[in-house]
Amino acid sequence: MSPNKKEERDGVAKPWGGRFSGKTDPTVERFSASVHFDKALARYDIRGSIAHARMLAATGLVPAEDADTLVAGLRNIEQEIEAGSFPFDPALEDIHMNIEARLRTQVGAVAGRLHTGRSRNDQVATDTALFLRDTCLAAELALLELRQVLVERSRDHVDTVLPGYTHLQRAQPVRLAHHWLAYVEMLTRDAERFGDLRRRVRRSPLGAGAIAGSTLPLDRNHTAEALGFEAPTRNSMDTVASRDLVIEFLSAAAICMVNLSRISEELVLWSSTEFGFIELADAYSTGSSLMPQKKNPDVPEIVRGKSGRAVGNLVSLLTTMKGLPFTYNRDMQEDKEPLFDSAATLRDCIEVLTGTFATLDVDVDCMAQAAQDPMLLATDLAELLVREGVPFREAHEVVGKMVGRCAQDGVALDAFSAEQMAEFHPAFGASSGELLDLERSFARRDLVGGTARDTVSEALEATARDLAEEAQALEAQRAEEDAGDGS
């Protein structure tokens, strides 16, 4: 064996103490290292470590001057990471050991006091909880901005009419504002899911140790308060064994991405020549490498495609966790990459769709022309008969026969005379042209949630008020989180 090969096979010393006399094989080192992705937790790891160091001083487990030295060293490391000058070392496995090793080079042997009463198990659980809290809030804020854009665009299109679709077939006419407010309702539930999860991440894992807590007189309430949690977790085993909060985030992200994918699909359809309802701004479109006439809806297409990643990340972690015994198992390292990927994917997709909606052009005339088909008001004819006392199933059958006659004779639904209408049913009392009126149809749909102009306008204003209140609450939450960063 060559000297180089021998040196490579000798590997590196294990960073965590005296139990092992042999070195880690380089292939195992590469296989098990996570610092290349869990460095995303660096700021949270430092924040938790600062809170832990101050608690150790407050309980007398570490001299106050040593705690001050630890905090100063951690602050310096934080600046190095932010500046991009931190020397990440894969041989040290993860972000936690990298920070601790760097701390030792900066403050010396006193760095060894930082891990007093702490395990990497409760340390990573704390970092993840802090990450989830911030990421959920970021998702709520991003979804708020997207919904605000949709509401503002809807204000201009209360009177813009287009066909609503079921089975991708023209069904009934709707207002564009009503259609876009449907997106807002759907995205509001997405935001609420992230808000619900954020409120569930309210207990601090720090101090749970590896599995059974500590014999040292730690003050878990001290660190919980410093990190902005309501209280410590109640069970040390559950604290280090569970990843259901991560799974819940991945679930909320996957649901939201599926919703964004459906919205994107409509943008793709509507921007096609076959529909022609909208035109995407140049800033949110691309061209073809071969066909100079093309303007491709790549942004919504990519969002639609990335939904598969979010769904896959959820399935991945569910599969990883389903067979694990309590408590911590190294398999759980596999929670980080799906978490970070879904968080970044969701952030980027919401951002580009917000810009897409803010800048797209609506072809009002094209939408209106598509909504003029009298067939879209067929249900109105059935409901007119119901108003005259005809059972709905009978009325439905009558209008179905009228539609069949239209298809057979090649005539429009609004072309029947009063006499012909009486032949279909004596309760009609007028020609189909007189009975089928788009504005009258809209006006009658004045139930809550309907498409009457006043109803849509009221829903629009109510939604705007709700979003304003939500914005105020989220800004307060963000200010509180920012204040907590100084732990």
Residue located via tokens 């207990």: 203
Q: Which residue has the tokens 């800033």?
A: 283
Q: Whose structure tokens read 């809290």?
A: 133
**CA dist 220 → 51, 70, 121, 232, 427 (Å):** 10, 19, 15, 6, 77
The pair of structure tokens assigned to 395 is 């009325």
Given a contact cutoff of 8 angstroms between Cβ atoms, the answer to whether 416 and 403 are in contact is no
Q: Which of 32, 272, 288, 417 is catalytic?
A: 288
Active site residue 49: no
- Phi and psi of 16, rounded to 5°? -110, 20
* C-alpha dihedral, 300 to 303 to 308 to 310, nearest 10°: -150
Given a contact cutoff of 8 angstroms between Cβ atoms, the answer to whether 370 and 162 are in contact is yes
Active-site residue among 2, 21, 85, 167?
167
Burial of 447 (0-12, 13-18, 19+ CB in 10 A): exposed
Q: Tell me which residue of 165, 317, 348 sits closest to 249, measured CA to CA.
A: 317
Q: Are 314 and 250 a contacting pair, CB within 8 Å?
A: yes
**Torsion angle (degrees, nearest 10) of CA 13, 240, 221, 213:** -70
167 flagged as catalytic: yes
Strand 169-175 versus strand 161-166 pairing type? antiparallel
Q: How many CB atoms lie within 10 A of CB 146?
A: 25
The residues annotated as belonging to the active site are: 167, 288
